[in-house]
């Protein structure tokens, strides 16, 4: 069993890869940078804030072909403005979309 200090159900991994996102009821797709990923959540950098509780669909595209892309339905839990004017969006993963 892995030993880790975080008090979470899943280990959070730092990542740096492309992410696309859209509101659950929209076809307009935007792009950003995925910064962390775990079995229960994701955080990414977006150009605008999103309201807590908002449902979205994200697609994460890893840089290597070893790891397949993942599409998931998420719920926003935090939106924090960064020093560069972008926003860090943290969200819980509600389900993973099958192929």
Task: Spell out the domains of the chain, with CATH numbers in brackets.
Answer: 13-97 (2.40.10.220)
Q: What is the pTM for the complete model shown?
A: 0.82
pLDDT on residue 11: 66
Which are the contacts of 72, defined by CB distance < 8 A and separation ≥ 6? 42, 57, 58, 60, 93, 94, 95, 96, 97
Neighbouring-strand partners of residue 45: 33, 88
Using pLDDT thresholds of 50, 70 and 90, give the confidence band for residue 7: low
Whether residue 92 has pLDDT greater than 90: yes
How confident is the model over 18-73, as pLDDT tens digits? 999 999 889 999 999 999 988 789 999 999 999 999 999 999 988 777 777 889 99
pLDDT on residue 2: 46
Nearest residue to 14 (alpha-carbon basis) of 30, 39, 37: 37
Q: DSSP readout, 2-29?
A: ---S--SSS--EEEEEEEEEEETT----
């Amino acid at each position: 069993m892995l030993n880790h200090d975080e008090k979470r159900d899943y280990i959070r991994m730092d990542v740096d890869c492309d992410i696309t996102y859209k509101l659950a009821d929209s076809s307009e797709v935007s792009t950003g940078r995925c910064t962390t990923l775990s079995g229960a959540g994701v955080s990414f950098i977006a150009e605008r804030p999103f309201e807590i509780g908002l449902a979205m669909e994200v697609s994460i595209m890893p840089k290597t072909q070893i790891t397949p892309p993942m599409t998931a339905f998420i719920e926003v839990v935090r939106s924090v403005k960064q020093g560069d004017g972008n926003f860090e969006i943290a969200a819980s993963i509600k389900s993973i979309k099958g192929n």
